[in-house]
Structure 1
């Protein structure tokens, strides 16, 4: 007995019928397409996991927001410090 009550001879006959119907070239292209699809799915899942980790980590988000705020506040503080200096000169 083989897989699920199917013997080895039944599996070989099914394989032979599939090869006769589709041909080896077509089966090869189907196999490579299926392999590429699985590869793409795995890479998308790992990319999604990495993105979910970044979104789920509040420390990283807070650090990124504080860096962004310091960058923007640094440029406004320079402009703000030059404006009062201009007013005092006038």
Structure 2
């Protein structure tokens, strides 16, 4: 059974996540306010950042950086994008 939430990213009612994506208050906030579609968009963006910037998730500063970028992304604020990325032509 799906649940609907008001998505902070897209500013409309959308299908919510099935479970919090991480423990703690941040995970609960995402579960309550971020849609499944917005979470999937962030996952793609995060993967591009990790790959293009050659980030190591073993480095605590990388995790801090990605969490800050995630907050910017979900709040519709400017966030870092992968330099040199060219989306495939349709």
TM bucket (normalised to shorter chain) is: under 0.3
Instruction: State the TM-score, normalized to the length of structure 2.
Output: 0.28
Question: Which structure is higher in helix share?
Answer: 1
Instruction: State the TM-score, normalized to the length of structure 1.
Output: 0.28
Structure with bigger RCO (C-alpha 8 Å, 6+ apart)? 2
Structure whose CA Rg is larger: 1
Question: Which structure is higher in strand share?
Answer: 2
